[in-house]
Amino acid sequence: MNSMKLGIIGAGRMGCNHIRTCKELYPQVELAGFFDSNQQRAKDVAAKCYTTAFPTVNDLLKTVDAVIVAAPTPFHCQYGLLCAEKKKHLLMEKPICQTQEEARQLIQACKDNGVILQVGHIERFNPVIKALTSVLKNEQIISLDFRRLSPFDREFFDCDVIHDLMIHDLDIMNWIVDCKIDTIYAHGKCIFSEQHIDYGQALIRFANDILVSLTASRVTEDKMRMLTIHTKNSCIYVDFLNRMITIYRRTAFKLEMEYDIHYKQENIIEKVFIQTNDPLKEEISSFVHSVKNNQIPVADGFTALKALEIADIISKLIYTKR
């Protein structure tokens, strides 16, 4: 398999991003086309992106090796199971499914049919994550503080802000801490919808005593994707959006000079050089590599399920307080 034939299910904003990126990845990826249940949108996107809109999902599946599902969350399991049944490798947008039961069903179906399942936790492919691996190597972590804030967008309204935005940080949290959770506290508000949480905060304590706070909002005009890490000897600021890492390290440097002048440096500021890349392009390339080499993806079904389980707990805690 030299060039992988890919198809896309769903042509909303995220689906269109996948279409554009797949075309840019040629010849590594050959985009066969896409399916969208909205016929007018399918027609418009096909004309705009110079690609093929298939009339049915089955028509699309007949022509491809693998599929990217970028449909609304309630349809993830339905389309995912169909892809697994047809033995088409699967890159599923996050969250993996609407419920944990659906997620487990999809994971099992992919396993039974020899299908590679990767989930679109795209921050795993942000270049700051690779840099952060080295930065945290010898650090003793005390706490993590995640803030993921966005303006309101009516198009992304098929799930609450916990499963829409915070789930990215829950995945990164699990990757950093990798320990059993002790307690979870959560609060939130429904602002633009009676059904979905638009602003949520959670505080998590792990069994190893690491504290994690998370804030997710889709009602904030200032877009932010930040992580602050407090360690025993440093404070690390991670900007996922602008791809920057700034480290403040404690020192004990003191210099006594002539004329009774004293100089003391209390900390050192380091800025980590981050190579730029396109995370979506890296995500799709990684998926193709996993399929070609029959390897477990960076963000597989079990990784995604773990993030979904915590997101469900946080959402339930907030909804029961309404």
Domain parsing of the chain, residue ranges: 4-115, 124-277+309-319
| pLDDT tens sequence across 226-249 | 999 999 999 999 999 999 999 998
Architecture field, domain 4-115:
3-Layer(aba) Sandwich (3.40)
C-alpha neighbours within 13 Å on the C-beta side of residue 211: 9
Asked whether this chain's domains 4-115 and 124-277+309-319 adopt the same fold, the reply is no
The pLDDT of 163-169, averaged and rounded, is 97
Q: Which two tokens stand for residue 263?
A: 């100089």
Angle between helices 100-112 and 76-85 (to 10 degrees): 10
Query: Is the pLDDT reported for residue 147 higher than 70?
Result: yes
- The string over 63-93, giving b where at least 16 C-beta atoms fall within 10 Å of a residue's C-beta and e elsewhere, is ebbbbbbbbbbebbbbbbbbbbeeebbbbbb
pLDDT at position 250, please? Answer: 75
> 124-277+309-319 adopts what CATH topology?
Dihydrodipicolinate Reductase; domain 2 (3.30.360)
Residue type, 85: E
Contact 106, 44 (CB under 8 A): no
pLDDT value at 258 more than 70: no
Residue-wise pLDDT tens digits, 2-55? 789 999 999 999 999 999 999 999 999 999 999 999 999 999 999 999 999 999
